Structure 1
Amino acid sequence: MTKKALRDDDNMHGLRRTGGLTWSVRLSIPRDRWADAGKAFGTKTGIKQEVIRSLGTRDKHEALRRRDKALAAMREDLDAKLVAAGFLPIHGHWQPDWMNEDRLLTEALEARREITATSDRTDGGDDQMGGTDPKRRLIEGMDYMLEDRAEQLEKAGKNPSAYVGRYREIALGKSTPIGPLFDRWMRDVETTIRQQTARGHRLAFRLLGEFLASQDGDEGPSQNPETLIASISVESVTKRRIGEFPEWLAQRKGLSAKTIQSRVSPLKTFWDWLERKGYSEANPWLGATKGLKRRAEKEEKRDREREYTEAELIALLQANPDAHRRWGYGAVLFDLVRLGLLTGARQNELASLTRERIQPPETEGALPMIVVTSEVAKTRNSRRRIPLHPLAQKIIKERLEALEDRSDDAPLFPECPPGGPDGKRSWTLSKRFTLYRVRKTPWL
C-alpha cells in the first residue's frame, strides 16, 4: 500500500457509512468502561460499547471536516453522563507527559531555535521532488509529529486542537508565554539573591499584572494579576503598552520614585535574560525609569532622616531595661544600642553574634574583636573584624557569662530569633527598636 493510501485510511478513522450512504462518526468506549457507560445511558443490556452519530452529509470531504468537532462533542456528552451517574470521565484525568505545560513550552521553544537556525534557501533536491527548502522540511516534520500527538490525544478523549495550536504558535515564533520562562529565570537567580529580594521580584510581576489588567479594563476581584501576567506572551509586552507603568505605580499605588525604580529593575533584568536566551528581540524596559533618579534625589532631600538630637540619644541610652520585663526585649535592646554606637556594626551583624565570632586579643595589649563573616555580611566588602572598645568588651563578657549553651555557635542574643524571608535575627530587633525609638521616654 502506498504512503498516500495509508494516509487516506488514517484520515477515515472513526467514520462509517450507513445504508443510505450518509456518513456517521463512531466513538469507541474502552472495554473496561462498557458497564459504566451502560449504566450512565440506561441501556437494556447494561453495557454500551460505542456512540454513533450521523454527520448529516454524503460528501466524504465534508464528513472529514465535521468529524473532529462531532467527536469532541460526543466525548463531552459521554463524560457529562458518566460524571452525572457518579463515575469518572471516560479517560479519567490522564494526559500524556508531553502535554504538560512546561514540557510543551520546552519542546516548542527548542523547535523554534532549530527552525530559526535552519536555512530557508532551496537546495538541489532530487529528480522527483526537485529543489527543497530545509526550513520547510523541518516544519513539515514538526507537523507530522503534531498529527501523531493529536491522534493520541483524540483516542484519549482529549481535545487536540488546543495543544497543537499552542505548540505551533510558540514554535513558529508567534507567541511565547511569560509564566514558565519567569519560573525558569527565578530558579536561575534565586541561587544568588536573598529571599527578600526574590519576593520583591515576584511583587514586581504581580504589579505588572495589575497594571495590564487595568489597561484592558478588567480590574474586578475575579482577575488574578499573577495568572494574567503568566498567561500573556512576551511579544505582547511592548514599549508602548508598558510606557505608563511607572506613572501608574506613582499615582495609583502611591509609591516613591526610589521604590518605583526597585519595581521596574527586576522586569528589565528579566527581559535582558530573555534577550540572551533568544526569546525576545528587544527590551521594552530600556529607558522606563528615565527621570526617576532625579525625582528620587528630590524626594530624598525632602524626606531625609535627620540625626538624633543629643537629648534623644541620652534618652535612648538611659532607658531602663528592667522597667518592663514582660516585654522580653528590654535587656537585648539596652545592650545592642550600646554595641551599635561603639562598633558601627549593622543590626544583623550584631544580633547574629555567636561565641565563635568573638575573637580574643592576638597579642598582649591588643583589643578583642568581633568577626563579621560572609553568612551575615550585607555585601562582600562587609566581611571584616571590628575591635571592641572597653565598654563594649564589658557587654560582650556579661553576655558570654550568661550563656547556658557552651557550643561555638551559641547566639549571644537568643532573644532575637531568626525571622523574615531570609531568617535574619535582625528581623525581630528591627521591629522592637521601632517601639523603643518612638517613645519619648522609652519603656514607660
Structure 2
Amino acid sequence: MDMTHLTHRAGLYYVRFIVPKDRWQDVGKVLNSSTGLRRDILKSLQTRHYKEALKLRDAALNTIRQEINHKLIQAGFSPLHGHAVPDWMDEAQFLQEALKARQALQIASTVEDDQGTEDWPFSESPRDRLLEGMECFLEDQAYRMDQAGQNGQAYASRFEEIALGQHTPFALILDRWMRDRESSTSHSSQSLDRATLNHFARYLAHSKGLEEPEDLMAFLRQQVVEEIPPRVLGGFVEWLMDVQGLSVKTASNRVTPLKVMWDFAIQKHLLPKPNPWMGATAGLKQRANRQKIRLRPFSEEELMALLKADPDEGRRWNWGSAIYDLMRLALLTGARQNELASLTVDRVMTDPHSKGVLWGIRITDQEAKTRNAVRSIPLHPLIQPIIARRLKAADQSNPNAPLFPECKPGGPGEKRSYYFAKRFPVFRRDVLGVQSDKLVDFHSFRRNFITFFERANAHGVSACTEMVRDRLVGHESRSLAGNTYAAQDLGWDLCTDAILGLVEKGMPQEVVEVLRE
C-alpha cells in the first residue's frame, strides 16, 4: 500500500506535506509556529477510503504548497520552489501562462509582413510582434514586483526562458502528463510511474553531489530539462543497477515511464525531438534473459507433499484455509494467483448455459492481466465443493462480496493476492525446503495445469486442443487463425470436456486421490 505523504488516523486519511529542512524556520515563522519551526503540515482529506485518498493526495499537496508559498512571499521570503512569482499567481498558473506564450510563439509565422508606419517604418513578422508584446508585459510586471519588494527580474527572466523554449521545468511536463495518466492508465501503472519518478529525482540529486531530498517530487519539479546533460541521462540505468541494486528487468521497467513521458511531452510540443530514452534499454532484455531463472512445474512428489501438508500446522496465522483452497483451485483451473484471490460472489457461475454441466468462475477485465485473460473456466467436481463452501460463508446478497476475505488488498495495485503472495512461500519452504525458491513458486500450479493438459491431449482427449488450452489459461493464441478468426468463446461444453479430460487422462492418479480426500 502506497502511503507516501499519507497517514491514517481515527478512520480518516490525512495528507502530510513535508517542509524541506532548510526552510523549517521560514515556514514556522509565517505559520506562527510556537516552536519557531515547522517540519510538516497535516490536513484531513475527509475520506475513509484509501483509493479516494490516493486520488486527492497530489492535488492536496499542491494546494498546501501554494498556500505556503503565498505566505512566504508576503513575508518577504522566497517560495519553496525558489522561484519568484507574483503573490496573485501561484506556481501552476505561472507555468501555464509561460507555456501559453511558448505555444503562441511556436506557431507564429516568422515571415515579415509590410505593416510599417511613419513612426515605425520597419517590417516585422507576427512572431516578432508577439515577442515585443511579451517583453513589454514582462518589463511592466517586473517593475510592479520590484515595487512590491519581490524579485521582478528573476520572474521576467524565468518566464522568458520558458516561453522561448530555453528552460522547461519538469513541473510543466509532470502536471500535464500525470493528469493524462490518471485518466488513461490503471492504478498499478501510476504507482510504477511514481516509483520511476522518485528514482529519477534521487538520481539527479546524486549526479549533482547533493544529499537525497526529503521531498523527491518537489525536487524533481524544480529541475530544468535542458540543464540535464545527455551523459547524465545515459547513466541512469547503470545507477539503478549498480547503486540501487535493482535487477536488470526492474531497471528496464523503470526507464519505460520516462520514455512514455518524453513521448507525451514531444507530442504536446513541450520538448523537441528526439526522445533521449529511445534505445536506453538496448541489450537489457537479452541480459535479463541470461540471468532469468527458469522456474518449472511441481514434480509429482512435490505436489503430493504440498497437497497433503496442513498449512496451519505449527503456525499462528489465518492463512491456512486460503492456502489449502487456492492451491487446489490453481491446479485444476490454471488461473493466476490474483485472479483466484479476487473472486467474488457474482463471478461464480452456478447455472451455466448448458444443463448438467459444471459450475464455473469468470475472470473479468478488473483482475485480468491482459485482454486475452478475460474468460470463464469450468470447475472440476473435485474443487466445486471449495467454491460452494466459500459461497455459503460469503454475503450472497452482495455481488461484490469476496470469496477470500482473508486476502486483503495491498501493494501498488491494491491486489488481493499481495499479502497471500508473501505467505505462500513460507508454507512452500517449510514443505519443500528453501532450495525450492529457485525452482518453483505458486505459478507452478499453473504450469502443472498446462502440463496435464498436454498429457491429456497426447492420451487422446480430443477437447484438449491448443486453442482450448489458450482460452482456458488466458493466453493469446499463437496461430493467426486462432487469434484473429476463431470465436473467443469456444463453448462451455467443449471447455468442460477439456477440464474433465485433463484430470482423467493427464493428471497422475496419486494426485487425483489426494484431491479426493
Give TM class, smaller chain: 0.7 to 0.9
Q: Retained in 2: the 8 A contact 1:91–1:157?
A: no
SS of the aligned residue for 1:167 comes to helix
Task: Letter of the 1:408 partner, please give it.
Answer: P
Counterpart of 1:348 in structure 2 is 338
Counterpart of 2:158 in structure 1 is 166
Q: Retained in 1: the 8 A contact 2:312–2:319?
A: no
Cα distance in structure 1, aligned partners of 2:161 and 2:327: 61
Alpha carbons of structure 1 residues 419 and 224: separation in structure 2 relative to 1, 3 Å: closer
Where relative contact order (Cα < 8 A, 6+ residues apart) is larger, the structure is: 2
Counterpart of 1:188 in structure 2 is 180
Cα distance in structure 2, aligned partners of 1:155 and 1:189: 42
Counterpart of 2:254 in structure 1 is 263
Task: Letter of the 2:362 partner, please give it.
Answer: V
Alpha carbons of structure 1 residues 417 and 214: separation in structure 2 relative to 1, 3 Å: closer
Q: CA deviation at 1:90?
A: 7.9
Counterpart of 2:322 in structure 1 is 332
Task: Letter of the 1:313 partner, please give it.
Answer: L
Counterpart of 2:110 in structure 1 is 120
Q: Retained in 2: the 8 A contact 1:319–1:441?
A: no
Question: Per-residue CA shift, 1:338-360, capped at 9, x if unaligned?
Answer: 00111011112111212211112
Cα distance in structure 1, aligned partners of 2:99 and 2:389: 62
Counterpart of 1:291 in structure 2 is 283
Q: CA deviation at 1:185?
A: 0.6
Say whether 1:139 aligns with 2:147.
no
Task: Letter of the 2:108 partner, please give it.
Answer: T
The 5 Å alignment of 1:5-44 reads none
Cα distance in structure 2, aligned partners of 1:435 and 1:143: 67
Alpha carbons of structure 1 residues 421 and 211: separation in structure 2 relative to 1, 3 Å: closer
Q: CA deviation at 1:422?
A: 2.6
SS of the aligned residue for 2:362 comes to strand
Two-structure CA RMSD over aligned residues (Å): 2.7
Q: Retained in 2: the 8 A contact 1:271–1:283?
A: yes
Task: Letter of the 1:190 partner, please give it.
Answer: E
Q: CA deviation at 1:111?
A: 0.6
Question: Per-residue CA shift, 1:103-127, capped at 9, x if unaligned?
Answer: 1111111111111222233321223
Q: CA deviation at 1:304?
A: 2.1
Counterpart of 1:280 in structure 2 is 271
Q: Among 179, 198, 213, which residue is 2:171 paired with?
A: 179
Task: Letter of the 1:212 partner, please give it.
Answer: L
Counterpart of 1:412 in structure 2 is 403
Cα distance in structure 1, aligned partners of 2:395 and 2:207: 60
Cα distance in structure 2, aligned partners of 1:90 and 1:272: 39
Q: Retained in 2: the 8 A contact 1:271–1:280?
A: yes
Alpha carbons of structure 1 residues 252 and 119: separation in structure 2 relative to 1, 3 Å: same
Say whether 1:239 aligns with 2:239.
no
Cα distance in structure 1, aligned partners of 2:232 and 2:78: 42
Cα distance in structure 1, aligned partners of 2:371 and 2:89: 44
Q: Among 307, 331, 336, which residue is 2:297 paired with?
A: 307
Q: Retained in 1: the 8 A contact 2:307–2:324?
A: yes
Cα distance in structure 2, aligned partners of 1:291 and 1:90: 52
Alpha carbons of structure 1 residues 169 and 399: separation in structure 2 relative to 1, 3 Å: same
SS of the aligned residue for 1:99 comes to coil
Q: CA deviation at 1:319?
A: 2.0
Q: Retained in 2: the 8 A contact 1:261–1:289?
A: yes
Counterpart of 2:506 in structure 1 is none
Q: CA deviation at 1:178?
A: 1.0
Say whether 1:382 aligns with 2:365.
no
Q: Structure 1 stretch 94-103 or stretch 134-143: which is displaced more?
A: 94-103
Task: Letter of the 1:266 partner, please give it.
Answer: P
Counterpart of 1:42 in structure 2 is none
Q: Percent identity?
A: 44
Cα distance in structure 1, aligned partners of 2:77 and 2:403: 61
Alpha carbons of structure 1 residues 245 and 403: separation in structure 2 relative to 1, 3 Å: closer
Q: CA deviation at 1:383?
A: 0.9
Q: Retained in 1: the 8 A contact 2:206–2:212?
A: no
SS of the aligned residue for 2:109 comes to coil
Q: Retained in 2: the 8 A contact 1:190–1:198?
A: yes
Counterpart of 1:24 in structure 2 is none
- TM-score by length of structure 1 reads 0.73
Cα distance in structure 2, aligned partners of 1:272 and 1:164: 29
- TM-score by length of structure 2 reads 0.63
Task: Letter of the 1:435 partner, please give it.
Answer: V
Alpha carbons of structure 1 residues 403 and 209: separation in structure 2 relative to 1, 3 Å: closer
Q: CA deviation at 1:284?
A: 0.9
Counterpart of 2:502 in structure 1 is none
Q: CA deviation at 1:276?
A: 0.5
Cα distance in structure 2, aligned partners of 1:117 and 1:247: 39
SS of the aligned residue for 2:183 comes to coil
The 5 Å alignment of 1:88-99 reads 89=75, 96=86, 99=89
Q: Among 239, 250, 268, which residue is 2:241 paired with?
A: 250
Cα distance in structure 2, aligned partners of 1:261 and 1:322: 39
Counterpart of 2:202 in structure 1 is 210
Question: Per-residue CA shift, 1:208-238, capped at 9, x if unaligned?
Answer: 233333333x143568654443222222335
SS of the aligned residue for 1:385 comes to strand
Question: Per-residue CA shift, 1:109-168, capped at 9, x if unaligned?
Answer: 111111122223332122331123232221111122223322432343322122111101
Alpha carbons of structure 1 residues 253 and 381: separation in structure 2 relative to 1, 3 Å: same
Q: CA deviation at 1:101?
A: 1.4
Q: Retained in 2: the 8 A contact 1:238–1:284?
A: no
Alpha carbons of structure 1 residues 109 and 432: separation in structure 2 relative to 1, 3 Å: same
Q: CA deviation at 1:395?
A: 1.0
Question: Per-residue CA shift, 1:13-67, capped at 9, x if unaligned?
Answer: xxxxxxxxxxxxxxxxxxxxxxxxxxxxxxxxxxxxxxxxxxxxxxxxxxxxxxx
Cα distance in structure 1, aligned partners of 2:165 and 2:311: 66
SS of the aligned residue for 1:307 comes to coil
Q: Retained in 2: the 8 A contact 1:399–1:412?
A: yes
Q: Structure 1 stretch 354-363 or stretch 329-338: which is displaced more?
A: 354-363
Q: Retained in 2: the 8 A contact 1:122–1:131?
A: no
Aligned residue pair count: 353
Task: Letter of the 2:184 partner, please give it.
Answer: T
Structure 1 runs of 4+ aligned residues shifted over 4 Å read: 90-98, 221-225
The 5 Å alignment of 1:148-159 reads 148-159=140-151
SS of the aligned residue for 1:279 comes to coil
